[in-house]
């Protein structure tokens, strides 16, 4: 942080860059979905690595391996005081547009519990999502408080996420149904939310099959194995030819926040998805962030179960954890942002991208 402040101060007062001992340059080597950035040692006391205009790492070394490669890397070399010099290199295998494959991957951002107008954390999340023109956005429900009305969407969601609308995969939440038939949500997202009387759908992104379910299943025919949404899911999974499956609905199946509790009424769906080899479940509803081990539908950690993420960090105020849920790996309720996935053929990375609140990170790698 001191280094970043030093850079800002230098820019403000017009300090000239320190003379480099050698030409300062960086190179990028891509290999199996990672990018290794190297630069020459010019005798600096340290280097600030900035990826796609976001501070990434302060280091005294001259190399960094990024498991979620970006488009552009700026290396800021600091001498004494506020002296600095910079170099920038572009990753020709990074980036992409509208969620196109990036170095063999699809970039997907996800967060829910978003549009509370009076929250200072709303705008930073929206700004980050809008800036990531290379990524899809999975909006995990409760998008416009308090009632999901057309007015709520116009005031509290659209001003911050408008530029990402055409690359948003919406998920309906309980607050959307505070307006009859989730009419405000339907009006805003149109056909991208699925049929208006169902609000569940699927699509393929690269080598992944994405399934978005309606967690308010009793509103669309019921939550049991014989009900319409379940039968649709059976047919959808039977016709799927992708090896990797990511699913999403609003209510957290597992959570350490007892105020909302586990959405065990979704057990038939969880069991079906688990049996069909689903890999990732993304939810919100609990206003915090939590990641779980791979789990089956009966609260047991397994080697082949679904890895679930609760990402209720999209802008509304967060709530505390009351219990330590079995299988919980990471919990945070002081940081806002999105979780980013790089979805590849047979594998994926995740990385929580903080936009406000306390310092926090969570990242990892998984296979399908």
Mean pLDDT, range 347-356, rounded to an integer = 95
Instruction: Using the predicted structure, report yes or no on whether residue 175 has a pLDDT greater than 50.
Output: yes
Region 301-321: mean pLDDT is 94
- Look at residues 36, 31, 30, 34 and name the one whose alpha carbon lies nearest to residue 49: 36
Question: What pLDDT is attached to residue 93?
Answer: 47
pLDDT at 66 over 80: no
Are the beta carbons of 141 and 172 closer than 8 angstroms?
yes
pLDDT reading at 18 higher than 70: no
Q: What is the pLDDT of residue 11?
A: 33
Q: What is the mean pLDDT of residues 116-135?
A: 94
In this predicted model, which residue has the larger pLDDT, 258 or 81? 258
Q: What is the mean pLDDT of residues 201-226?
A: 95
Regarding predicted confidence, which is higher, 95 or 282? 282
Q: Is the pLDDT of residue 214 over 90?
A: yes
Among residues 187, 188, 195, the alpha carbon closest in space to that of 212 is found at 195
**Looking at residue 67, what is its pLDDT?**
64
**Burial classification of residue 43, based on how many CB atoms lie within 10 Å of its CB (0-12 exposed, 13-18 middle, 19 or more buried):** exposed
- At 19, the pLDDT band (50, 70, 90 cuts) reads very low
Cβ–Cβ < 8 Å for 209, 246:
yes
For 255-271, what is the mean pLDDT?
Answer: 89
DSSP state, 156?
I
Q: Left, alpha or beta for 103 (phi > 0: left; psi -120 to 50: alpha)?
A: left
Average pLDDT for 46-58: 70
Q: What is the dihedral of CA 338, 188, 216, 250, to 10 degrees?
A: 0
Res 74: pLDDT:
78
Q: Is 80 exceeded by the pLDDT of residue 53?
A: no
Closest CA to 329 of 296, 295, 298: 295
pLDDT beyond 50 at 1: no
Per-residue pLDDT band for 102 (boundaries 50, 70, 90) equals very low
- Residue 46 pLDDT: 78
Task: Report, as an integer, the average pLDDT of 331-357.
Answer: 95
Tokens 């600030």 -> residue: 48
Does residue 128 register a pLDDT over 80? yes
Please write the tens of the pLDDT for every residue from 142-153: 999 999 999 999
The pLDDT value given to residue 84:
58
Q: Which residues contact 180 (CB under 8 A, 6 or more apart)?
A: none
Look at residue 36 and tell me whether its pLDDT is greater than 80: yes
| Count of Cβ atoms closer than 10 Å to residue 298 Cβ | 11
User: Is it the case that residue 189 has pLDDT exceeding 50?
Assistant: yes
pLDDT at 220: 94
Partners of 201 in the beta sheet?
A: 212
- Residue 136 pLDDT > 60, yes or no? yes
pLDDT beyond 70 at 34: no
| Beta bridge pairs of residue 58 | 48
Q: What are the structural domains, with CATH classification, of the chain?
A: 2-90 (2.60.40.10), 105-367 (3.60.21.10)
Q: What is the DSSP string of 259-315?
A: TT---GGGHHHHHHHHHTT--EEEEESSSSEEEEEEE-TTS-B-SSSEEEEEE--SS
DSSP, res 123: H
The set of residues, in sequence order, having a beta carbon less than 8 Å from that of 14 and lying 6+ positions away, is none
Residue 20 has pLDDT above 50, yes or no: no
Instruction: Please give the radius of gyration of the chain, using alpha carbons only, rounded to the nearest integer.
Output: 22
**Nearest-angstrom CA–CA distance, 201 and 216:** 14
pLDDT tops 80 at residue 259: no
Share of the chain above pLDDT 90, in %: 67
pLDDT: which is higher, 77 or 344: 344
Between CA 342 and CA 310, with CA 138 as vertex, the angle to 5 degrees is: 85
Q: Percent of the chain beyond pLDDT 70?
A: 83
């Amino acid at each position: 942080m001191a280094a970043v402040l030093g850079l800002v101060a230098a820019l403000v007062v017009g300090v000239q860059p320190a003379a480099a001992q050698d030409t300062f340059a960086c190179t990028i080597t891509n290999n199996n979905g990672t990018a290794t950035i190297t630069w020459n040692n010019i005798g600096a006391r340290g280097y600030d690595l900035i990826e796609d205009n976001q501070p990434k790492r302060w280091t005294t070394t001259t190399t960094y391996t990024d498991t979620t490669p970006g488009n552009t890397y700026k290396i800021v070399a600091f001498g004494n005081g506020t002296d600095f010099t910079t170099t920038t290199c572009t990753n020709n295998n990074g980036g992409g547009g509208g969620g196109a494959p990036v170095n063999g991957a699809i970039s997907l951002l996800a967060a829910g519990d978003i549009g509370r107008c009076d929250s200072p954390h709303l705008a930073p999340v929206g700004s980050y999502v809008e800036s990531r023109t290379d990524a899809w956005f999975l909006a995990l429900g409760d998008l416009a408080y308090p009632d999901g009305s057309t007015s709520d969407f116009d005031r509290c969601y659209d001003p911050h996420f408008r530029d990402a609308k055409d690359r948003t995969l919406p998920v309906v939440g309980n607050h959307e149904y505070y307006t009859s038939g989730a009419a405000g949500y339907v009006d805003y997202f149109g056909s991208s939310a699925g049929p208006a009387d169902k609000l569940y759908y699927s699509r393929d992104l690269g080598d992944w099959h994405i399934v978005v379910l309606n967690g308010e299943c009793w509103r669309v025919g019921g939550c049991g194995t014989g009900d319409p949404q379940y039968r649709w899911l059976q047919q959808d999974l039977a016709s799927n030819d992708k090896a990797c499956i990511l699913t999403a609905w609003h209510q957290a199946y597992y959570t350490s926040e007892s105020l909302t509790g586990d959405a065990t009424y979704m057990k038939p769906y969880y069991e079906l998805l688990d049996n069909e080899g689903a890999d990732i479940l993304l939810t919100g509803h609990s206003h915090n962030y939590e990641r779980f081990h791979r789990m089956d539908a009966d609260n047991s950690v397994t080697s082949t179960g679904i890895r679930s993420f609760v990402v209720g960090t999209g802008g509304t105020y967060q709530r505390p954890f009351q219990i330590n849920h079995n299988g919980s790996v990471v919990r945070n309720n002081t940081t806002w942002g999105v979780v980013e996935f790089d979805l590849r053929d047979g594998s994926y990375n995740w990385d929580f991208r903080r936009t406000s609140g306390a310092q926090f990170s969570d990242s990892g790698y998984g296979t399908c």
